[in-house]
């Protein structure tokens, strides 16, 4: 860490030297100025970390030096000293940007400690700002991988809704990245400098969920040995993300509804309300409308949460993104493990694109991390490095569960995906022999080849040994 620099502006030469010697002994590099004009010249030529200025100077008011220093260097830490000032002068100095006001005679070690604290606070502020900038950059929308039409629709919605305060409901299967989307909304919103607080309703026992959300008073229940602030209060001015909202009991749903309507909460064991200003983002992997019909989810809460809905598509319906995601996760895993970047072979990409991915993006990321770990010194990831359930999948389930969203789906696209998967599985079973694959699917060889080129594109397969036999 570089030596902090301080400019001491004091017309009493003896006192100025004593202050300079004391600060130097405390690890500061010290420059001296005898009046305001001398200080102005020095400030023009060098950006000091700190400033110690006497309130009464022979050619100007020390406040003017303070103002000029802060105007040129807004992050400089300034201390005003005086032998004549009082409370009114101290208040003025603090309001104009000084970090402290010391009345002579003062302890020299006190001045050094004040400067150290001020500079440490500045360092922490700068580090926090850099971390927020890095986090904001990491959670920009263009850092969320996806080129498919369904993801482009998601991006368009996020760009529109993020600057607003509207409540958002994110729906998607497990592993589709609901919390990542929620964080992206927060860090691209005006609330980005305040807290993002996550609450997983499914992970908190029912008897503790209310206290976790709303807080509790000391002694409110057995084990409440001290008062605790809830997630609503922690998220004040920021964003509260409620994951797995469908797992809440009906009684907790009622209390959540009231909090959202009144914009206030009551801690468990207290009777007075606490106001809050937050944005709520909820997420679920279930069909809330179905739960409403079954009587397990409140309809009024649904409409309170479903102001803007973001529907995250499952990975199996955005197969054109799989190769892109796989390459992204491979680079990410290599970087985090300190190894050279790995490429994915075409055969590996084909295996990944033919897998149904019931665990969605989370499962894909774990599979790629596994493959990177198994790659050893190899620069290329081949199918043998993938997890066993992906490189040797079980028998294809022809009627895999399909969730039909409210806005409907493309029948032709779903059928094409099934055709594609059948063809790839048959080729895998026959070692790439098109004639044998066509026989397994009870198709003519030319029909299979036409479908193969239409659905998959050019694929390297082994040529049949017996070319004289035609189907």
Q: To 5 degrees, how large is the angle CA 393–CA 395–CA 400? A: 100
What pLDDT score was predicted for residue 395? Answer: 45
Task: Give the residues of the chain that fall short of pLDDT 70.
Answer: 1, 127-143, 220, 222-225, 392-407, 409, 455-471
Closest CA to 161 of 186, 139, 180: 186
Domain chopping of the chain, boundaries:
5-131, 140-311, 315-391, 411-455
What pLDDT score was predicted for residue 310? Answer: 96
What pLDDT score was predicted for residue 342? Answer: 92
- The answer as to CATH 3.10.450.50 being correct for domain 140-311 is no
What is the distance between the alpha carbons of residues 79 and 101, in angstroms, rounded to a whole number?
Answer: 6
Question: Using CA atoms in the order 127, 128, 131, 135, what is the torsion angle rounded to 10 degrees?
Answer: -170
What is the distance between the alpha carbons of residues 91 and 148, in angstroms, rounded to a whole number?
Answer: 59
**Cα of 325 vs its chain's centroid, Å:** 18
- The answer as to CATH 3.90.1170.50 being correct for domain 315-391 is no
Asked if the domains 315-391 and 411-455 are classified in one and the same CATH topology, the answer is: no
Task: Tell me the CATH architecture of domain 411-455.
Answer: Orthogonal Bundle (1.10)
Q: What is the CATH number of domain 5-131?
A: 3.40.50.2300
What pLDDT score was predicted for residue 80? Answer: 93
What pLDDT score was predicted for residue 426? Answer: 82
Burial of 209 (0-12, 13-18, 19+ CB in 10 A): buried
The reported pTM is: 0.57
What pLDDT score was predicted for residue 419? Answer: 82
CA R_g for the chain: 33
What pLDDT score was predicted for residue 362? Answer: 93
- Distance of CA 264 to CAs 53, 192, 193, 271, 305, Å? 47, 22, 22, 12, 16
What's the distance, Cα to Cα, between the start and end of the chain in Å? 77
Q: Is 39 left (phi over 0), alpha (psi -120 to 50) or beta?
A: alpha
According to DSSP, the residues that pair with 6 across neighbouring strands are: 30, 50
CB neighbours of 299 closer than 8 A, spacing ≥ 6?
Answer: 292
Enter the tokens of residue 357: 């991915």
Closest CA to 424 of 411, 401, 446, 440: 440
Contact 148, 321 (CB under 8 A): yes
């Amino acid at each position: 860490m570089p030596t902090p620099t301080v400019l001491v502006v004091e017309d009493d030469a003896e006192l100025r030297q004593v202050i300079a010697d004391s600060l130097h002994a405390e690890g500061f590099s010290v420059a001296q100025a005898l009046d305001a004009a001398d200080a102005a010249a020095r400030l023009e030529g060098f950006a000091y970390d700190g400033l110690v200025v006497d309130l009464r100077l022979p050619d100007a008011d020390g406040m003017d030096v303070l103002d000029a220093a802060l105007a040129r260097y807004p992050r400089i830490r300034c201390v005003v000293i005086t032998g004549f000032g009082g409370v009114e002068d101290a208040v003025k100095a603090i309001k104009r940007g000084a970090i402290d006001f010391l009345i002579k005679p003062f302890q020299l070690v006190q001045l050094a400690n004040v400067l150290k604290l001020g500079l440490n606070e500045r360092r922490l502020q700068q580090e926090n700002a850099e971390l927020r900038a890095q986090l904001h950059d990491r959670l920009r929308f263009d850092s969320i991988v996806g080129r498919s039409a369904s993801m482009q629709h998601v991006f368009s919605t996020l760009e529109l809704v993020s600057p607003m305060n509207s409540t958002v409901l994110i729906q998607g299967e497990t592993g589709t990245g609901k919390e990542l989307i929620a964080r992206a909304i927060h860090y691209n919103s005006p609330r980005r400098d305040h807290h993002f607080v996550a609450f997983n309703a499914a992970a908190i026992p029912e008897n503790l969920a209310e206290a976790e959300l709303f807080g509790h008073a000391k002694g409110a229940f057995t084990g409440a040995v001290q008062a605790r602030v809830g997630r609503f209060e922690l998220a004040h001015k920021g964003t509260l993300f409620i994951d797995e909202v469908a797992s809440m009991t009906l009684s907790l749903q009622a209390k959540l509804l009231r909090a959202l309507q009144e914009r206030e909460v009551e801690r468990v064991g207290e009777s007075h309300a606490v106001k809050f200003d937050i944005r709520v983002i909820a997420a679920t992997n279930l069909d809330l409308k179905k739960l409403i019909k079954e009587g397990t989810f409140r309809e009024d809460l649904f409409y309170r949460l479903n102001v803007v809905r973001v529907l995250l598509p499952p990975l199996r319906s955005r197969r054109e993104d799989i190769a892109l995601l796989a390459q992204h996760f491979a680079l990410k895993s290599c970087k985090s493990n300190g190894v050279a970047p790995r490429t994915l072979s075409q055969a590996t990409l084909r295996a990944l694109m033919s897998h149904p991915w019931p665990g969605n993006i989370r499962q894909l990321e774990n599979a790629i991390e596994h493959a990177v770990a198994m790659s050893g010194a190899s620069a290329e990831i081949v199918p043998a490095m993938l997890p066993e359930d992906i490189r040797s999948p079980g028998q294809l389930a022809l009627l895999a569960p399909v969730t039909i969203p409210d806005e409907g789906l493309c029948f032709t696209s779903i059928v094409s995906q099934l055709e594609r998967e059948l063809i790839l599985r048959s080729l895998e079973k026959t070692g790439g022999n098109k004639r044998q694959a066509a026989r397994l699917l009870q198709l003519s060889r030319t029909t299979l080849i036409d479908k193969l080129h239409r659905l998959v594109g050019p694929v390297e397969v082994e040529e049949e040994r017996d070319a004289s036999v035609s189907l």
